[in-house]
Structure 1
Amino acid sequence: MEEYFVGGRQTGPWILGLTWIATMASGGTFIGVPGLLHTYGWIVFLWISGFMVVITTGFGILGKRVGQVGRKTGALTFPDLLRDRFESPMIGVLSALMIVILYLAFMVAQYAAGARVLEAVVGIPYHWGVIGFAVSVALYTAYGGFRAVAWTDSFQAVVMLVGVIMTAYFAVSMVGGFEALQAGLISQSEQLVSGPGPKDFLPLVAAISFFVLMPLSQLGQPALVSRFLTFNDSRVLKRAALMTGIYVAIMYPLIMLVGVAGRALVPELESPDHAMTATVMMVLPAAIAGFVIAAPVSAIMSSLSSFLLVTAGALVRDIYQHSFEPNMSGEKAKKLTHLMTFSVTIVGVILAFNPPQLLQLIVVFAGAGLGATFAWPTILGLFWPRMNHMGCLLGMLVGFVSFVLQYLTMGSSSVFGFHPFVWSFVLSLLACVLGSRLAPRQSSDVLELYFGDRTRSRSAKKKLQQAIAS
């Protein structure tokens, strides 16, 4: 099971960095983001700017600590981290259920994005495109486990970067350079080149919200956090972080540039989410257009495979095995994981048959929901010895429920115009601290395992203070 879920903890720096970025850069990045830029213009650069620091938050805050805890405790999945840290089977089951719900939304966006690429490029009907993507990704994920996902992610990440560099270069060249691009946008609408954009898309408060949302929500993404369980040396993490940071700094500005250039080149589209494919087909020579179209396809497949692995693992290991059959054999676990992978795929395909207009809105909802639910329970569980099971439960529930309620009642603009994630993030922190203060500390054995010298030094200091007082 360690081999299947974390690749035997033998992941090297290149594979760790590339699989992390390929998982984060989903179909929303290559289909949804250009669609938003095609619709709203330059202002989306500010909307997405928080991604420039995702490596600082993701690798810098959690990477080393998650790797250490995983090697100490044998954790194989994200719910393993929380359940074992707080000695609570309920936390394991609850976190697994929330992962399944929110990652299903993520997967719907990926299936829809992939199908729209095939629909726009080769004319495959949308429904058949969804099924094709679903079956192909489910097969290699189910039978290859993490190693298959990591290696395919790595190749796909290379294709993604090369594809977006080529597309951006040819697109700007065909427009006639940056000045011509700016003039073309202004001729359509001056709102495309100024804030807050068409239809008041991004007021200042919303821009601040998204700068907070993008980097901090990554701290609660199980598919990303679980990547840090797969290496066995902190030097691997440092090299992976450097490489991934350079990758992000190159790719995200260019993918946004493609979206804006697409608006100048192809103003009218059947769907905004066709912006990337329409631009590629217009600006690139036919001989290389197919390779470049593989970039969004790669982004979609890499994210889908990671989401499927995490979701199937949550159902099999974190719900079934720990609740009903603790001594389940590896062979049975593998068969059940195959079954759950295909079952989740079927549900996702059914939901993807009727997607919304802008796929990036689903991606933001699912990613922000995961961050609001898991970020603070994970951070405090790993770094604060006083955090306990009550704090974790309250933090997850308050973060999840408050986020969903805000979306249902106010949409993506909550109190004072902030995104619901901002308020849920704050409320989850308060709930974690309050719950931890209401319940007793955990056993010294668990704290010794997770915090070692820190708990011993505090215990010695307390004994010394008692001796002095007496």
Structure 2
Amino acid sequence: MTNVRFIPLQQEGIPVADDPVILALGTIYLILVLLIGVWGWIRTDTTADFLITGKSIGTWVLALTAFSVIQSGFGFIGGPELVYLFGSTALWIFFSAPLGFLITWIVLAKRMRILAEIRHVLTLGDATFVRYNSNLVRGLTGLAVVLGVIAYLAVNLAAIQFVMRAIFGIPVIWGLIAGAVILLLYSAFGGMIAGVWTDFMQAITMAVGAVFVFVYAISFGGGMENIMRNLAEADPALASPFGTLGGTETAILVGLAWWTLFAIGAAGQPHLITKFYMSRDMNVLKWGAPIAALTYAISSLIAFSAGLAMRAMVEAGQIDETFAASEVGPVFVLEHTGSVVAGLILAALLAAIMSTSDSFLNIGAAAITRDIPRALGRPIKRNKTELRLTQVSLAVLTVLATLVVMFSDALVGILGAISWGFFAASFVPVVVLGLNWTGATREGAIAALVVGMSYNIIYNVIPETAGIVDHSAVSWVNENIVMTTYPFPEAVPAEAISLLITMAVFIIVSIASQDDTPADIKALIER
């Protein structure tokens, strides 16, 4: 018999603001989000408007929405948690991610925008079809997008229940349902037009709030020198760039793997790279990379300062560890900063989750109603019909992800494990190499997509399943096949290895096969 834990929606230990200022700011933010959604609805007439804003956004909006869809709730919940657990070792992620924006802009920004100009592309599946002239590549792209979107969306909805409880004090089950309903209305109304402007609003709020949190945190910890001293006295590994990752060789390997995953893997995130379709013109792309990288680095001050300060004060015996690692960010903001700062951070986080989830919903719904039907030779021909079915697909994806969060933490863990790495392994070779190398072939793209999805399922999904689902067959497969065939230390993220393997597969298969690149696409690659 298979045993899976159901209804994991506990609320003990989750901090509640119980502050009228925070409640007011949270309410105002939600109202603004819904009003932006209505405004987006008024401006949306076609599928192009709904999915890529009708190519209407400028430099600052493009840069800040790119930063915010990558940062989202991670910087407030996942980031402080990692720093609290691993000390300064976790900063590998935050040092790598800003570089990811620069790399992504260099290798893809102009090419993606020109592609949207010379061909009618609205989705990532459109781009891969145009590049490889293959419905199978388009269909596999759509499938990879849908699977990854469910992963991301479930994790974001799980965060919504947390934030709704922190702001409004409601049980998490109602926070989940209310958040899902608001997200669905906001997404169905406004599409990507609403999403990018909400991203813009919350990105500014998060960056400003991060500076205040940093100041509060350094002061709370008695200064950076005192923080690092307390950490080093408790465990020297916490103050080392490699200390908590194992021995020297393992630590270096893990650090390089994290760098690869977050710096190079950013270029495979469809919710980021499809933003390039939306720019008003080519000049808009010029300063986007440094703006996005700088604002991401500033926002990461929340994770860096709150995580280190809280761990240092616990190790020094100045505060009691009455919270879980995942609660470090909310606990610090709610208990050790002012009401206005806490309210702005929580409200911005709620908007970040909403707008990032909106991006996921849009690319996922488009894959369902545009990419997969076209790959099967059954395109939806009427624009209005395609738009309405895309909006219906939003509801299907929202309900599905909500049920995942509500009924099984097992599935949330499994899907969360394959999200970033799943997209990176699938799309860095196919899109980045494909749009920068005329020798790329459809056979190489098909092989990379199949291997990327399969590798992540084997080395991410099965181990996560074995750790949560009580089933002898799953455990046997994990212990006797998965663990025995993974050639690296357990600390090395399989997602990074998957990315490197799929790139190698893509290159080898492309070299071994031959393909004709359309003349306009060849000119695009060679310019």
TM-score, reference length from structure 1: 0.88
Give the aligned partner of residue 185 of structure 2. 139
Give the aligned partner of residue 37 of structure 1. 83
1:304 CA displacement: 1.0
1:263 CA displacement: 2.4
Give the aligned partner of residue 206 of structure 1. 254
For 2:86 and 2:320, locate their aligned partners in 1 and report how far apart those are by CA, in whole Å. Answer: 12
Q: Quick one: structure 1 residues 79 and 267, their matched pair in 2 at CA, closer, same or farther if it must change by over 3 Å?
A: farther
Q: Quick one: structure 1 residues 37 and 133, their matched pair in 2 at CA, closer, same or farther if it must change by over 3 Å?
A: same
Give the aligned partner of residue 433 of structure 2. 380
Give the aligned partner of residue 465 of structure 1. none
Alignment partner for residue 102 of structure 2, among 43, 50, 56?
56
Q: Does 1:451 align with 2:527?
A: no
Deviates more, 1:133-142 or 1:261-270: 261-270
1:392 CA displacement: 0.9
Deviates more, 1:342-351 or 1:320-329: 320-329
Deviates more, 1:243-252 or 1:25-34: 243-252
Deviates more, 1:313-322 or 1:271-280: 313-322
1:399 CA displacement: 1.9
Counterpart contact for 1:209–1:419, Cα < 8 Å: yes
1:179 CA displacement: 2.7
Q: Quick one: structure 1 residues 179 and 361, their matched pair in 2 at CA, closer, same or farther if it must change by over 3 Å?
A: farther
Q: Percent identity?
A: 25
What SS does structure 2 have at the residue aligned with 1:387?
coil
Counterpart contact for 1:28–1:110, Cα < 8 Å: no
Give the aligned partner of residue 416 of structure 1. 488
Q: Does 1:260 align with 2:292?
A: no
For 1:362 and 1:317, locate their aligned partners in 2 and report how far apart those are by CA, in whole Å. Answer: 23
Q: Name the aligned partner's letter for residue 416 of structure 1.
A: F
**Residue by residue, what CA displacement relative to the aligned partner does 1:205-257 show, whole Å, maximum 9, x if unpaired?**
11111011101111111111111111242221012223212212322244322
How many residue pairs get matched?
451
For 2:524 and 2:174, locate their aligned partners in 1 and report how far apart those are by CA, in whole Å. Answer: 57
Q: Quick one: structure 1 residues 378 and 335, their matched pair in 2 at CA, closer, same or farther if it must change by over 3 Å?
A: same
For 2:408 and 2:97, locate their aligned partners in 1 and report how far apart those are by CA, in whole Å. Answer: 25
Q: Does 1:12 align with 2:27?
A: no
**Residue by residue, what CA displacement relative to the aligned partner does 1:35-70 show, whole Å, maximum 9, x if unpaired?**
111222222113432113112111111111111111
For 1:267 and 1:296, locate their aligned partners in 2 and report how far apart those are by CA, in whole Å. Answer: 26
Q: Quick one: structure 1 residues 249 and 199, their matched pair in 2 at CA, closer, same or farther if it must change by over 3 Å?
A: closer
Q: Does 1:318 align with 2:371?
A: yes
Alignment partner for residue 73 of structure 2, among 27, 34, 52?
27
Deviates more, 1:446-455 or 1:245-254: 446-455
**Residue by residue, what CA displacement relative to the aligned partner does 1:337-384 show, whole Å, maximum 9, x if unpaired?**
121101101111111236769x99965631011101111111232122
Give the aligned partner of residue 243 of structure 1. 291
Q: Quick one: structure 1 residues 197 and 129, their matched pair in 2 at CA, closer, same or farther if it must change by over 3 Å?
A: farther
Counterpart contact for 1:30–1:299, Cα < 8 Å: no
Q: Does 1:125 align with 2:155?
A: no
For 1:291 and 1:437, locate their aligned partners in 2 and report how far apart those are by CA, in whole Å. Answer: 52
1:137 CA displacement: 1.7
What SS does structure 2 have at the residue aligned with 1:55?
helix
Alignment of 1:427-446 (within 5 A): 427-442=501-516
Give the aligned partner of residue 125 of structure 2. 79
What SS does structure 1 have at the residue aligned with 2:101?
helix
For 2:189 and 2:376, locate their aligned partners in 1 and report how far apart those are by CA, in whole Å. Answer: 24
Deviates more, 1:185-194 or 1:24-33: 185-194
Deviates more, 1:189-198 or 1:22-31: 189-198
For 1:65 and 1:163, locate their aligned partners in 2 and report how far apart those are by CA, in whole Å. Answer: 34
Q: Quick one: structure 1 residues 260 and 354, their matched pair in 2 at CA, closer, same or farther if it must change by over 3 Å?
A: farther
Counterpart contact for 1:403–1:424, Cα < 8 Å: yes
Counterpart contact for 1:32–1:360, Cα < 8 Å: no
Give the aligned partner of residue 335 of structure 1. 388
1:325 CA displacement: 4.4
Q: Name the aligned partner's letter for residue 487 of structure 2.
A: V
Counterpart contact for 1:160–1:298, Cα < 8 Å: no
For 2:377 and 2:415, locate their aligned partners in 1 and report how far apart those are by CA, in whole Å. Answer: 34
Q: Does 1:231 align with 2:284?
A: no
Counterpart contact for 1:161–1:295, Cα < 8 Å: no
For 2:203 and 2:228, locate their aligned partners in 1 and report how far apart those are by CA, in whole Å. Answer: 30
Q: Quick one: structure 1 residues 432 and 187, their matched pair in 2 at CA, closer, same or farther if it must change by over 3 Å?
A: closer
Give the aligned partner of residue 305 of structure 1. 358
What SS does structure 1 have at the residue aligned with 2:54?
helix
For 1:244 and 1:21, locate their aligned partners in 2 and report how far apart those are by CA, in whole Å. Answer: 5
Deviates more, 1:399-408 or 1:197-206: 197-206
Counterpart contact for 2:114–2:524, Cα < 8 Å: no
1:452 CA displacement: 2.8
1:449 CA displacement: 1.6
Q: Quick one: structure 1 residues 361 and 119, their matched pair in 2 at CA, closer, same or farther if it must change by over 3 Å?
A: farther
For 2:226 and 2:413, locate their aligned partners in 1 and report how far apart those are by CA, in whole Å. Answer: 28
Give the aligned partner of residue 7 of structure 2. none
Give the aligned partner of residue 348 of structure 1. 401
For 2:241 and 2:414, locate their aligned partners in 1 and report how far apart those are by CA, in whole Å. Answer: 20
Alignment RMSD (CA, Å): 2.7
1:326 CA displacement: 2.9
What SS does structure 2 have at the residue aligned with 1:42?
helix
For 2:214 and 2:184, locate their aligned partners in 1 and report how far apart those are by CA, in whole Å. Answer: 31
Q: Quick one: structure 1 residues 425 and 175, their matched pair in 2 at CA, closer, same or farther if it must change by over 3 Å?
A: closer
For 1:355 and 1:48, locate their aligned partners in 2 and report how far apart those are by CA, in whole Å. Answer: 30
Give the aligned partner of residue 149 of structure 1. 195
For 1:180 and 1:204, locate their aligned partners in 2 and report how far apart those are by CA, in whole Å. Answer: 27
Q: Quick one: structure 1 residues 430 and 40, their matched pair in 2 at CA, closer, same or farther if it must change by over 3 Å?
A: closer
1:402 CA displacement: 2.1
**Residue by residue, what CA displacement relative to the aligned partner does 1:74-111 show, whole Å, maximum 9, x if unpaired?**
11011110012211112112111111111211111111
Counterpart contact for 2:380–2:386, Cα < 8 Å: no
For 1:115 and 1:435, locate their aligned partners in 2 and report how far apart those are by CA, in whole Å. Answer: 45
Q: Does 1:113 align with 2:168?
A: no
For 1:360 and 1:264, locate their aligned partners in 2 and report how far apart those are by CA, in whole Å. Answer: 29
Give the aligned partner of residue 39 of structure 2. none
Q: Quick one: structure 1 residues 447 and 167, their matched pair in 2 at CA, closer, same or farther if it must change by over 3 Å?
A: same
Q: Quick one: structure 1 residues 441 and 147, their matched pair in 2 at CA, closer, same or farther if it must change by over 3 Å?
A: same
1:168 CA displacement: 1.5
Gaps (5+ residues) in structure 1?
Answer: 458-470
Q: Name the aligned partner's letter for residue 203 of structure 1.
A: A
TM-score, reference length from structure 2: 0.79
